[in-house]
Amino acid sequence: MKEIDKSKPVAVTGGTGYIASWIVKYLLDKGINVKTSVRNKSDRSKYEHLLKAAENSSAVLTIFEADLLKPGSFDELVKDCELVIHTASPFKIAGVKNFRKEVIEPALEGTRNVLGSVNRTDSVKRVVLTASAATIYGDNADITGKTGGVFTPDDWNTTSTPDHQPYSYSKTIAEKEAWKICGEQNRWDLVTIHPGFVLGPSLTSRTDSTSIDFVMSIMKGQFRAGAPQLWFGTVDVRDVATLHIEAGFNPSAKGRYIAIEDSYSIPEITGIVKSKVGSEYPVSSRKVPGFLMYLAGPMMGFTMKYVKRNLGYKIRFDNSATIRDFNFKFRPIDETLRDHFEQIKRDQLL
């Protein structure tokens, strides 16, 4: 049971990220002082939205420059903090030339470096880590044989490797390392949040987020000829941010929490987007026949192994502990996609 003093600042790593930006904003809205890290403090354009959030708050926001791969880089960030929320980790699926260098190493070394700073800071009582549903399962086919056909917080991804689902692998080894480091001491405890595919409005007009790019690609007509029957557990970015804060301040929070509202196929998601945008954008809810995915998958960037282990497998998640422990109600996906579309349109991203 860790009681966190709300008068102390909260450290948030990677504050300009899609999820982290909402965490910082919500903390400031609550009047809680925030210390957050950015990669390049001289580039104010990347964190101008955080400064604006602070202007509308009675709380203080302090910006630090830190590098995931630099030991000691987070010492000043976590100084005097009782709660550290570690969100900084690369989320890259496409366009990566060297997964080991661009994704795997930053995820693992970043976790070691942040928690190294935590270990050197006597004030820290709790760390909340942004994990992922990807640390619970690797491929949708992993659902086969699960009791009740449901992934639970007790499940671990055992099928991803540096060569197959390397992003999922990076998140899994980083989380395991975090639990290992936590287990080697008894001053601070660890709570992990496991979002699925995060959707919903961004606080910035940046388009380099995989989640933002996905919705924009739908609106641009990427799936107008049909979408593959691939299922994802989805969740609203604002819910993920709220759960990090709840996990940080709830004294009884412990272990791993699944942050997923429900699971949807890509055709289901495109159908919902189509219902929101009408005929204004070339959105289709058609499905791609399975045999075509086996033929066209490699040309779309999917390996044959990925297609075989994911296409047509519907997945489900047990989020009951999250709902129970935090008395939480997830936003429905209709609201998430509506607000996401409105933000994209408002910011004139298309």
DSSP string over 210-233: HHHHHHHHHHHTTTTT-B---EEE
Average pLDDT, the chain: 91
% of the chain residues with pLDDT over 90: 69
pLDDT digits (tens, 9 = 90+) for 265-313: 999 999 999 988 888 888 888 887 776 666 666 656 678 898 899 999 9
% of the chain with per-residue pLDDT over 70: 94
Other beta carbons within 10 Å of 349: 15
Q: For residues 225-243, give the mean pLDDT.
A: 94
Who's near 331: CB < 8 A, 6+ residues apart?
Answer: 200, 236, 238, 239, 261
Q: Which amino acid is at 132?
A: S
- What is the per-residue pLDDT for 197? 95
> Does the pLDDT at position 93 exceed 70?
no
Name the residue with higher pLDDT: 200 or 96: 200
> The pTM is what?
0.94
Evaluate if residue 175 carries a pLDDT over 70. yes
CATH, domain range 10-346: 3.40.50.720
Can you give the residue ranges of every domain in the chain?
10-346
pLDDT band at 140, cuts 50/70/90? very high
Task: Kindly report, residue by residue over 57-73, the tens digit of the pLDDT.
Answer: 999 999 999 998 899 99
pLDDT of the residue at 295: 64
Least confident of 128-132, 215-219, 228-232: 215-219
